Structure 1
């Protein structure tokens, strides 16, 4: 391909292949005539290309960060049929497809599916997600009930507005259908709010919540047993020599630890100990587990190597994972002489990040660097994930969790307007004793509780809204007065 940048999407129909790059260029390659036609849209990053259905129909839609265009191939030329700006003319478009040969359909971030005519002027239908306050109330009610002395599975009639009496009956009827074993365990969850939120997410089939709370609970437990910063020191090399604490710098022959302190640590480990995240979580796993998974993968490739290139690849991976002895053995088996093997460190990760090789940079950092260097690489990755053209903030939140930056996680959830998740996470951190008491954090937590109180008030749940108002500082007290007036 000539005159085209980094390809970001591709579509194929009949004899035509359409490419879209990060600079906004659309290029069509005719397989039969072996010709290429390119047009510069000047719309920036192309996210998706979709051909319309029907034999001989050469219309296709192109999705950008700021809208979409409809093109058609006519007599070997690209012709634009229509264009739509987002969010100027419509809510932000998150996906496009076709409902018919001349009926483009789009999905927007406000929960709508809209079918247009080919000129993108008339919409034939608009299907919105139904508002289901009952489902939200059920979920939020099961997450945490700090306003009640006892965890229950029944919403009292006085807890909601009078006009919501039928809704209360429906919700309580659904509560009665919950599996008995789950209903018995939810009030006494071993890991408190975090585990309860995870179980409720599984009950509701909320994949996003399941992912978040699985990672959150894992790192909350790890941080409770041993700070992540200390844990990750072991990943800096093949051998780890712990630093001697100042109070142990002595010439005595024997230094005994405080028995009570050791017993407390042992009990915490027994209580909060949990299995590491599965390999499915990949870069979100802790460094020691991640390195083990990578070594297992390289060992699998090593056992199946057949060519020199394969051997070289295995050796390079062993070197970067710190297993230089095994790398030397591989080269010697191929009758090669190794002149030198240099350790790749932070500079290599910075170089990789500069050229957008983020996955390889993270792989190298988690496998070889000390915590401080590794954290620097990961924080740059978080910034990259949060950038407008990438917009993977949910993944960035998981990365912050893996770094043990719980205050940052809370700040990001608040910025993403995920107030329920933020409030429950603040409660979970408080239960684990892992939320710092700085003025900034206290203000952030109060802001989270205030917005959560507003959300609960909008859903009509007075009792819960009043509780979180009392935890939201001065602004919470002001809003509490509004809540009382609203529900009178």
Structure 2
């Protein structure tokens, strides 16, 4: 194997991935191992599926992802950028014992069956009944503005939750999206932010969480 880039462990099974795209399956009880070249680029993340006895594994590469069966040491399904999709997978995980979730560079969160056949929708195109607190849905610049606004407001004697009154050099539509995220905060969090006794270090810890 090359340099190990990720490790996953479940029960008696240990799986290692390396920067050369190899997977190494270890049976800790039987003390045997088997290395399999995936013929892909580096393995950057591996996760076992939840559930007792479920030995399925999802593997993240630079150009896509695969689901493996660690009992049979065989690939179950695969997706690859440029072959059957026009987006890049940034992160992977399991949302249930038989469904995977992908974070993609086109701003979409995709939930797929184990066969990796896509079925998805864009969050910004949905009419949700309740506001969703998720700063990751904002543009990176807007997320930084939101973070700075919640952390420190030196222009006023007390903190505010109304960003529209602040002279940020942002487009009004962008400020409106930031305000929606502020409005989606729970009342407990809002009370802490507005508390004059809540110091900067405490705010940093709160915003980081």
Alignment TM class, shorter chain as reference = 0.5 to 0.7
Query: What residue in structure 2 maps to residue 10 of structure 1?
Result: 7
Alignment pair present for 1:120 and 2:116:
yes
- Where structure 2 has 5 or more consecutive residues not aligned to the other structure, the ranges are 127-137, 146-160, 180-209
Alignment pair present for 1:57 and 2:42:
no
Q: Compared with structure 1, are the counterparts of its residues 51 and 179 closer, same or farther at alpha carbon in structure 2 (3 Å cutoff)? A: same
Query: What residue in structure 2 maps to residue 95 of structure 1?
Result: 91
Alignment pair present for 1:177 and 2:162:
yes
Q: TM-score, structure 1 length as denominator?
A: 0.27
Distance, in Å, in 2 between the alignment partners of 1:178 and 1:113 is 28
Query: What residue in structure 1 maps to residue 129 of structure 2?
Result: none
CA deviation vs aligned residue, 1:286-337 (integer Å, no higher than 9, x gap): xxxxxxxxxxxxxxxxxxxxxxxxxxxxxxxxxxxxxxxxxxxxxxxxxxxx
Of the three residues 40, 44, 66, the one matched with 1:69 is 66
Q: Report the CA distance between 1:56 and its aligned residue.
A: 0.5
Q: Report the CA distance between 1:119 and its aligned residue.
A: 1.7
Distance, in Å, in 1 between the alignment partners of 2:88 and 2:75 is 21
Q: Secondary structure at the match of 1:130?
A: helix
Q: Report the CA distance between 1:179 and its aligned residue.
A: 8.2
Q: Report the CA distance between 1:120 and its aligned residue.
A: 1.6
Query: What residue in structure 1 maps to residue 76 of structure 2?
Result: 81
Q: Report the CA distance between 1:177 and its aligned residue.
A: 3.1
Q: Report the CA distance between 1:8 and its aligned residue.
A: 0.6
Q: Report the CA distance between 1:81 and its aligned residue.
A: 0.9
Alignment pair present for 1:21 and 2:18:
yes
Compare CA radii of gyration and give the structure with the larger one.
1
Pick the structure with more helix per residue: 1
CA deviation vs aligned residue, 1:12-51 (integer Å, no higher than 9, x gap): 1111111100000000112211111110001011111011
Q: Compared with structure 1, are the counterparts of its residues 33 and 89 closer, same or farther at alpha carbon in structure 2 (3 Å cutoff)? A: same
Q: Secondary structure at the match of 1:23?
A: coil
CA deviation vs aligned residue, 1:342-376 (integer Å, no higher than 9, x gap): xxxxxxxxxxxxxxxxxxxxxxxxxxxxxxxxxxx
Query: What residue in structure 2 maps to residue 33 of structure 1?
Result: 30
Distance, in Å, in 2 between the alignment partners of 1:60 and 1:42 is 17
Alignment pair present for 1:130 and 2:88:
no
State whether residues 24 and 42 of structure 1, in contact with CA within 8 Å, keep that contact through their aligned partners in structure 2. Answer: yes
Q: Report the CA distance between 1:88 and its aligned residue.
A: 2.9
Distance, in Å, in 2 between the alignment partners of 1:129 and 1:17 is 36
Distance, in Å, in 2 between the alignment partners of 1:47 and 1:72 is 18
Of the three residues 32, 45, 50, the one matched with 1:48 is 45
Q: Compared with structure 1, are the counterparts of its residues 131 and 42 closer, same or farther at alpha carbon in structure 2 (3 Å cutoff)? A: same
Distance, in Å, in 1 between the alignment partners of 2:107 and 2:36 is 32
Distance, in Å, in 2 between the alignment partners of 1:178 and 1:120 is 41
Q: Report the CA distance between 1:127 and its aligned residue.
A: 3.5
Q: Compared with structure 1, are the counterparts of its residues 178 and 81 closer, same or farther at alpha carbon in structure 2 (3 Å cutoff)? A: closer
State whether residues 63 and 69 of structure 1, in contact with CA within 8 Å, keep that contact through their aligned partners in structure 2. Answer: yes
Distance, in Å, in 1 between the alignment partners of 2:164 and 2:123 is 28
Distance, in Å, in 1 between the alignment partners of 2:116 and 2:84 is 11
Q: Report the CA distance between 1:95 and its aligned residue.
A: 1.0
CA RMSD of aligned residues (A): 3.3
Distance, in Å, in 1 between the alignment partners of 2:121 and 2:8 is 27
